[in-house]
Structure 1
Amino acid sequence: MARGWVRDYYAAKLKELVERGEIWEIRRLMGPTGPRAVVEGREFIMLSTNNYLNLANDPRLKRAAIEAIEKYGWGPGAVWAIAGYPELMAELERKVAEFKRTEAALVFPTGYATNVGSIPAIVDQGDIIVSDELNHGSIIDGIRLSRAEKIIYKHCDLADLEDKLRQVHKKYNKILIITDGVFSMDGDIAPLDGITKLADEFNAMVYVDDAHGEGVLGEGRGSPAHYGVEDKVDFHMGTFSKALGSTGGMIGSDRDIIEYIRNRARSWLLSTGFPPAVVAANIKALEIVMTEKERIRKLWENREYFKKGLDELGFNTGKSQTPIIPAIIGDTKKTRELAKMLYDMGIFVVPIVYPMVARGTERIRNEVSAGHTKEDLDRALSAYEKAGRSLGII
């Protein structure tokens, strides 16, 4: 047990979070995640996962994992750098490089570990990072862990990015522009065509976190492929935990760069690797995404249908360009009330409020998948209409 004063201090801090409405209510899944899921004994239509291509419970991924367990066992033993890793890992890294269309690739235990390890390895004292103001928290933490300076540009604002690059041009050893490919709260896409053009002009490097773009844009290969600028991006970061339906992070680049990151990224060198079963499932997921384009087409059909439905009901879907479709309410209390009403009607969503988003932009973030049926989406839209009218939102 913790000391009394320690317990009391953190109990008071927790109470403050509850009173401000800044606490997560964690629900218990009672089966696999998918377009529909059993949550605490009830079946729900799931609109709150990143399982865009409905691969998280694909039988082929499960079969690959089981076969790997039979051959390689379960636990990895230690960090990959010390204990080595199964021969499957070399195959996975080759598959990632093929997917990212880079010379080589490195796989991390998580997407978070990829950013907090790779960014400090890439830049050093005397360098500067130019970062989009809405970049993911893992990017922010990676920047903080680096010894580089930083400057923030307005969200997806090429004019402001150019101004910031002009300010720092020739003042630092290296300039690194970092951006999400797809932004996880608004579902909008970074203008990588313009960003890479400015990088050429100011001799800057480009790092793209494409966690929410892979499997979704560019026929599945992500946001750089969507813009046709894969060869203009220096660092292709991604994750297996979204459209690929698994877990782990990845980064692709030139061979020497990848080997340098492998030997400098503390979150790779000091983290125990994931089990061989995950490696095998990740290989299978990449193969599916690179070959089964029908899944991506179905995802986009569902995205267009659901966004149109929310728009026609009168909800504010913001700047969404992807299967991330927010219903922006702009009020913490009403957002929480809406989420509860939808939950009570069998629609699994969660409220996204400050500090996850700025005050006045509180929303419910909907994420459709290729596995949703029209019946699923119609039922969700019907619930939105009923709850939205009851609360005076629409």
Structure 2
Amino acid sequence: MYNTEMEDLGLSDFFLKEVKHFEGLHVARVSSLSKGIYKLITNQGELKAEVSGKFRFKATGTRDYPTVGDFVMIKRTDGNNIIHHMLSRKSLLVRKEAGMTQETQLIAANIDKIFICMSLNNDFNIRRMERYLSIAWDSGATPVIVLTKADLCLNIEVMLEEVSKISIGVDVIVTSSVDKVGYEPVKNYLSSGQTVAFIGSSGVGKSTLINALLGQKLIETRDIRNDDKGKHTTTRRELYLISGLGVVIDTPGMSELGVQSVDLSKSFSDIEELIKQCKFNDCQHKSEPGCIVQQAITDGELSNKRLQSYRKLEREAKHAEMKMESREKERLKNRVDNLREIKRSRKAVKAKNRGR
């Protein structure tokens, strides 16, 4: 029913079980989107589509709409193509816009691995890496750290040691576009039917690396600025199919990274394990005598900056969760109010008709 191209795009049994329930519709994968217009890849090539009016009516929030990487069921016509259903997701990478807005942005769906790219120059920030790891683990995909621009670094060993302390259980690859180092190891993580999303700050070399994997310059890139910072080039998320190597997703740079939800049990497994071992159930791990977390800091096994980063992310996640619950309650209340209004209107119409 579906050719090899769709299988290369990641159309696995996970999705096919659901696809068979939609007779008369065709499956497609979202490769990009802009202002409500979705660019899709199908077994008959690329096309553009919009969601149906019924789809919009049923959607209660951002997560109910397709994003890059989603598989959707569409009706193809000569005039326009309509998305009628979005298939269940096996993973979803999201971020909260930094600041007070609390707006959630969907980055990519149905991804198997996330390449967290950070350059070994002035962009290097270990606290930001902790944030990336937290949202990556929370997505359901497997993170891989890709350190770029190794040719600009004079103390790689020191930086690698810093990364190793906060990336327990995560593979690390060092690359350089100038020296062409690290590209082959990156390819080892790609395979047909698998999807990899590239995230990181602007100018860290995500697009350069993807171009190298594609074997051609499909994505525009720019040189770094005089202050050693990267220039922003990618302006939207885009999905690309690499022959024999599956799918990669390029994303715009994220210089500021808020969190909607995080998996601290994996990104901060060292601290979580210490907390479990602490003999005080209600310990705040600040100044309590005999606290194992504070003892680890004293012994040099844990840095105080990492503990503060953990606490900050924990607070942000709890605050975001409360905001999300409040919005959900508000949406449900509005729906109930709308249904009541509809029922009242219907009753009024029936009463009026009976009186005639």
TM-score (structure 1 length as normaliser): 0.24
Higher helix share: 1
Query: Which structure ranks higher in relative contact order (CA pairs < 8 Å, sequence separation ≥ 6)?
Result: 1
The structure number with the bigger radius of gyration is 2
User: Between Structure 1 and Structure 2, which shows a larger proportion of strand residues?
Assistant: 2
TM-score, normalization by structure 2 = 0.26
